[in-house]
Each structure stands twice: as structure tokens, then as C-alpha cells.
Amino acid sequence: MRTLHREKTPEAREYDELVQRVSPRSSAGSTALALVKAFGVGGLICCVGQAIHDLGAGPLGLDDKAVSAFTSTALIFLSALLTGLGLYDRIGKFAGAGSIVPITGFANSVVSPAMEFKREGYVLGVGAKMFVVAGPVLVYGITASVLYGVIYYVIRLVQGG
């Protein structure tokens, strides 16, 4: 079988160098700015999460498990709303990883394809395409947790738990 990954020819490598030379590089200043934006927005989103958490634990009197479910549900709701209103992608353009890495970014990556593929129908569009971006997160997250569970089980057995 002919492999798709071919060795680069010397000519292609030479061209790579040319491309590297010409391609715009982000300056130290713009890199620092991007990091500060990501830090600020990411930190803010986490603070909103903490406020929701405190609301659930204090005035609402929820127990530990319920509080964490309440917090993530509320954040996901807010993210879905902002995505629906067309605001989350603007936040993302500004903040980069600052709004991708929090759970709201995960929600955005579920909600945006759901909205996008509405025109292809509610079953094969919304239903099938909803996890086109976020699916891998569940696949790798859940698989890793199952692996960890199995390893933890074996360790307990060996230790005679």
C-alpha cells in the first residue's frame, strides 16, 4: 500500500524554510497580550463558576455533589445562551483558550454545531452532528477514567483491599 505520509524531498524542505522565513510570526508583545487575555477571561469565567458554587452551597443549601452539578449546569446554560445569541464566538476571538478551556468552551463546542446543522434536519443534522467537535472530549475523557478505574481496582486487589 502506498503510504500517504511521504518523506519530504530536499526541494520541499528547502521550500519549508522559505515559508518559515516569510510567514508572519507573532511578536513577543502580541504573544504576551494573547496570554493576558486568556488568563483574564479564563480567570473571570472561573470566578463566575465560584459565585454560582457559593450560591448553591450557601443560600440554596445544596450538598457537595449537587453543588458541583448545579455549577456545571448553570455554566453550560450560560454558554449555550451566549452561543445562541452569537456572542460566544466573539468572546472566543478575543480570549482564545481563555474561553475554550473552561467548561463553557466545551458547551460552546456542543451548541455551535447543533445550531449550525439545524438546516440539515433535526435528526441527521442536529442529532448526528452535535458532537462533531466535542465528541473526542467524551471519548478520551471517559476512556481515560475507565482505564484509571480498572488500574485503581487492580491496585486495591494487589494491596489486599
Partner 1 sequence: MAEKKRGAQSVLLQNRPRVLSFASMAGPKEAEGPLAGTFDETFTDDTLGEKSWERGEAKMLEHTVDLALSKARVYADAVDAFLGGDLLNQIVSASYTARQLGAPFLGLYGACSTMAESLLLGALLVDGGYADRVVCATCSHFATAERQYRFPLELGNQRTPTAQWTVTGAGATLLGRGEAKGLPLRLTAATIGRVVDKQQTDINNMGAAMAPAAADTLLAHLRDLHRSVQDYDLIVTGDLGCVGYDLMCLLCEQKGVSLDERYIDCGCEVFSPEQDVHAGGSGCGCSACCLNGWLFRRMLSGEIRRLLFLATGALMSTTTSQQGESIPAIAHAVTLEVEEG
Partner 2 sequence: MMYAKVFLVGGLICAAGQLLLLYTNLTSARILVAFVTAGVVLTALGLYEPLVEWAGAGATVPLTGFGYSLATGAREAVEESGLLGALTGGVTATAAGIAAAIVFGYLASVLFTPHTKR
The site string for partner 2 over 90-129 (x = CB under 8 A, - otherwise) reads -----xxxx-xxxxxxxx-xxxx-xxxxx---x---x---
Largest Cα span, the chain: 68
Minimum Å gap between C-beta 147 and partner 2 is 8
Helices (H), 58-96: 64-84, 88-95
Q: Which amino acid is at 61?
A: G
Q: Per CB under 8 A, does 102 bind partner 1?
A: no
How many angstroms separate the CA atoms of 161 and 153, rounded?
9
Number of residues lying near partner 2 (CB under 8 A): 76
Q: Per CB under 8 A, does 15 bind partner 2?
A: no
Q: Which is nearer to partner 2, 10 or 61 (CB)?
A: 61
Instruction: Name which of residues 107 to 136 contact partner 1 (CB under 8 A).
Output: 108-109, 111-113, 115-117, 119, 132-133
Q: Which is nearer to partner 1, 71 or 108 (CB)?
A: 108
C-alpha cell at 27: 511578536
Q: Per CB under 8 A, does 24 bind partner 1?
A: yes
> CA torsion angle for 64, 69, 71, 74 (degrees, to 10)?
-150
The answer to whether 107 and 75 have CB atoms below 8 angstroms apart is yes
